[in-house]
Amino acid sequence: MQPTDIRNPQYFHKVVDCQWACPAHTRVPEYIRLIAAGRFDDAYLLNWDSNVFPGILGRTCDRPCEPACRRGRVEESNGEKPEPVAICRLKRVAADNRSEGIEARMRARLPERIPGAERFHIACVGAGPASLTVARDLAPLGYRVTIFETDARSGGFMRTQVPRFRLPEHVIDEEVGYILDLGVELVGNHPIDSMRALLDRNFDAVFVGCGAPRGRDLHIPGREEAKAKIHVGIEWLASVYFGHVTKVGRRVLVLGGGTTAMDCCRSARRLGGDDVKVIVRSGYGEMKASPWEKEDAEHEGVEILNWLNPKAFVHENGRLTGMWFTPMRAEQSGGGRKLLPTGEPDRFFECDEVLIAVGQENAFPWIERDLGIEFDEWGMPKLDKLTMQSTHPRVFFGGDAAFGPKNIIWAVEHGHQAAISIHNLLQHEDIRKRPPPLTNLVSQKMGIHEWSYDNDISPDQRYAVPWAPKEKTLKNIRQEVELGFDLPTAWKEAQRCLNCDVQTVFTRDLCIECDACVDVCPMDCITFTVNGDEAELRTRLTAPARNPEQDLYVSEPVKTGRVMVKDEDVCLHCGLCAERCPTGAWDMRRFLFVESYAGRGEEYSALPLKKKVAA
């Protein structure tokens, strides 16, 4: 193998699994350390810079960071149940414990206004997380940003579809408020029904962040006749939010296996449904809902049934009485997988009401097709994935409107990237030019056995977030279920973090090949051996490197001609290799990778926070 080039910042970035997996590349280990140190404001601000909605995401994020978390892998075959660090819920700890006057510190972090920026006016369609992020990034630079929203209030899907027992409204109000207070104009109750009309108003740029507002329907026999008790999930959730729906039948079937299905079934349990079943076409493991969402639903007495394909609604003179389902199985065919009937007899389930949550669709009936905004064969806008720019140079897309339904954290990242593009466009820069990330690699050595981070590895298993009692939560749809970690538990959970951003850095010229690092490494990560090609090398290390997703760190040849090979997969970042190294060939260095945002170019610094004004 070629020696690893650690000067490429993406090498160590990838080692920080959580940050690498996060669409917005939030510096997770850093904020977890800040939480452990009791610096909740700093932890909150670090999150706010990167993901804009720490309080909202600390409750509702899809948390791509957690399945990626190294802690889950190192606990494998080490305890009862390997679990990642509760990254998402620690984020909520930062939000719950931030101080009152944090807005002043937020403002201090913002970049300087750009002279003349107020001449430019940017329109955002829809007041969801993508548009709000564009506004957060551009308004401080001095641009005028106006957000048009169909509803009276901002927040989009976060407000109208995510149920209040998962996300209290005051959290939305606060975090959306921070953005609107930056001088962003929100025009509520103002649906945009013509892109042509919008463009005619001479906005300098238009950002479309209107989400994927149409819930997919299920056109099977009986749908029309029994329609009074059959609802499309996301519309029903919005009706619950607006108070149009306050109760539901006793027996409810929810069709679909995603997050919306979970929100539907749990809402139904709170509105009078005492026999609620989620019925899914495919298997339990491949449901789109996250494992914890399924657990939460089952904890509340919802039954999940798999491998059943909806066949027909049954009604008596228009009154829904039940549904037929066909048992299914999966079959591998070619590269893909097909669902086929098993041939077993169809199954019937009685019910009083059905909620359809089988997916969402994008709909752009309001965008005229002759404006130069091209759409593909699936009706989605053609976009540059880097810049979020459409084929119309002044029109940008982000969030679910860009590539179909994703999640809040992806919407935020789209917003950041679109804001950079709009800024470049208005400043006559190359639109594809991205401001470079801030990177840094600094030794954390404080003394012979002292590091600036806590390198003692906690043996604890993951801590569960306490819940409000079920008797209480099932009676009141506005009662938040999760109560958040208390501070002693938050500290213990934070200690489970392995500090993967503190990197093991090897200096070949200092190594005397004493084997001390190999001997002390608790995870058998380090090997000195003759070089070979990667696949073969992976088999003959101290412990086999079985995870091809994780890189091998390979040195230049040492004196005996061998190479040092370190498997990054299950390294604890405990620093014992560096403590045992007599020559300092191993060192623990904190790797900083800070994404850059609109208007924060080369001079952008993550820590002193205010761009220096040239004298």
Partner 1 sequence: MTYLAKPKLHHPSLQRNGVGFTRRDYEGAVSTLCAGCGHDSISAAIIQACWELDIEPHRVAKLSGIGCSSKTPTYFLSASHGFNTVHGRMPSVLTGANLANRELLYLGISGDGDSASIGIGQFVHAIRRGVDMVYLVENNGVYGLTKGQFSATADQGSKSKKGAVNTDAPVDMVGMALQLGASFVARGFSGDKTQLVPLLKAAMTHKGAAFLDVISPCVAFNNHPGSTKSYDYVREHNHALNRMDFIPARAGITVDYPEGEVREVRQHDGSMLRLRKLPSGHDTGDRVAAMSYLHECQARGEIVTGLLYVDPEAPDLHAHLETVDAPFNTLGERELCPGSATLAKINASLR
Check residue 540 for interaction with partner 1 (CB under 8 A): no
The single residue among 286, 519, 536, 603 that binds partner 1, judged by CB under 8 A, is: 519
Q: Say which residues have a Cβ less than 8 Å from residue 152's Cβ, sequence separation at least 6.
A: 188, 189
* Shortest Cβ 98–partner 1 spacing (Å): 33
Identity of the residue numbered 387: T
Return the number of the residue (413 or 569) whose C-beta is nearest partner 1.
Answer: 569
Contacts of 469 (CB under 8 A, 6+ apart): none
Please identify, among the stretches 364-372, 387-395, 572-580, 593-601, the one whose residues bind partner 1 according to the rule CB under 8 A: 572-580
Distance in angstroms (rounded) separating the CA atoms of residues 323 and 252 = 11
Q: Which two tokens stand for residue 346?
A: 């169809």
Nearer to partner 1, 472 or 540 (CB): 540
CB of 582 to partner 1, least distance (A): 3
Query: Does 514 participate in binding partner 1 (rule CB under 8 A)?
Result: yes
Single residue of 100, 456, 533, 602 touching partner 1 by CB under 8 A? 456
Residue count at the site for partner 1 (CB under 8 A)?
37
544 binds partner 1 (CB under 8 A): yes
Please identify, using beta-carbon distances, which residue of 3 and 72 lies nearer to partner 1.
72
104: which residues sit within 8 A by CB, 6+ positions away? none
151-176 in b/e form (b: 16+ CB < 10 A) is bebbbbbbbbbbbbbbbbeebbebbb
Identity of the residue, 281 or 573, whose beta carbon is nearer to partner 1 in the bound complex: 573
Q: Which stretch binds partner 1 (CB under 8 A): 32-40, 44-52, 205-213, 571-579?
A: 571-579
Exactly one of 35, 147, 409, 457 binds partner 1 (CB under 8 A); that residue is 457
- 224: which 2 tokens? 């029309």
On whether the CB atoms of residues 269 and 395 are closer than 8 A, the answer is no
Give the one residue of 77, 202, 332, 333 binding partner 1; rule: CB under 8 A: 77
Question: Does position 510 bind partner 1 by CB under 8 A?
Answer: no
How far, in Å, CA of 50 to CA of 94, rounded? 14
- Binding partner 1 (rule: CB under 8 A), the pick from 386, 464, 512, 530 is 512
- CB closer to partner 1 out of 196 and 546: 546
Secondary structure, 3-state, 100-156? CCHHHHHHHHCCCCCCCHHHCEEEEECCCHHHHHHHHHHHHHCCEEEEECCCCCCCC
Residues 550, 74 contacting (CB under 8 angstroms):
no
Supply the minimum distance, in Å, between the C-beta of residue 574 and partner 1: 6
Q: 13, 14, 39, 73: which one contacts partner 1 (CB under 8 A)? A: 73
Alpha-carbon distance of 345 to 175, in angstroms, equals 52
Distance CA 462, CA 493 (A): 7
- For 207, the 3-state DSSP assignment is strand
- The reply to whether 551 sits near partner 1 by the rule CB under 8 A is no
> Rounded to the nearest whole angstrom, what is the least distance from the CB of residue 63 to partner 1 in the complex?
23
> Residue 520 interacts with partner 1 (CB under 8 A)?
yes
At residue 492, the 3 state secondary structure works out as: helix
Q: Given candidates 42, 62, 75, 175, which one binds partner 1 under the rule CB under 8 A?
A: 75
Query: Of 105 and 492, which has the nearer Cβ to partner 1?
Result: 492
- Residue 599 burial by CB count (10 A; 0-12/13-18/19+): exposed, middle or buried? buried
Specify the amino acid at residue 468.
Answer: A
Contact with partner 1 (CB under 8 A): which of 24, 576, 598, 606? Answer: 576
Nearer to partner 1, 24 or 574 (CB): 574
38 Cβ neighbours under 8 A, 6+ residues apart: none
- CA distances (Å), 436 to each of 541, 594, 596, in order? 36, 9, 6
Cβ contact 559:513 at 8 Å:
yes
**Nearest alpha-carbon partner for 595 in 606, 581, 611:** 606
3-state secondary structure of 20: helix
Q: Does 500 bind partner 1 (CB under 8 A)?
A: no
Give the one residue of 22, 74, 395, 502 binding partner 1; rule: CB under 8 A.
74
What is the rounded CA–CA span in Å between residue 313 and residue 228? 12
Beta bridge partners of 252: 276, 353
Residue 507 lies near partner 1 (rule: CB under 8 A):
no
Nearer to partner 1, 125 or 576 (CB): 576
Q: Does 505 bind partner 1 (CB under 8 A)?
A: no
**Binding partner 1 by CB under 8 A: which of 580, 596, 601, 609?**
580
516 lines the binding site for partner 1 (CB under 8 A): yes
Is 570 a binding residue for partner 1 by CB under 8 A? The answer is yes
Shortest reach from residue 16's CB to partner 1, in Å? 19
Query: For the window 376-415, what string marks contact with partner 1 as x by the rule CB under 8 A?
Result: ----------------------------------------
Binding site for partner 1 (CB under 8 A): 73-78, 449, 455-457, 459, 512-516, 518-520, 522-525, 543-544, 546, 559-560, 570, 572, 574, 576, 579-583
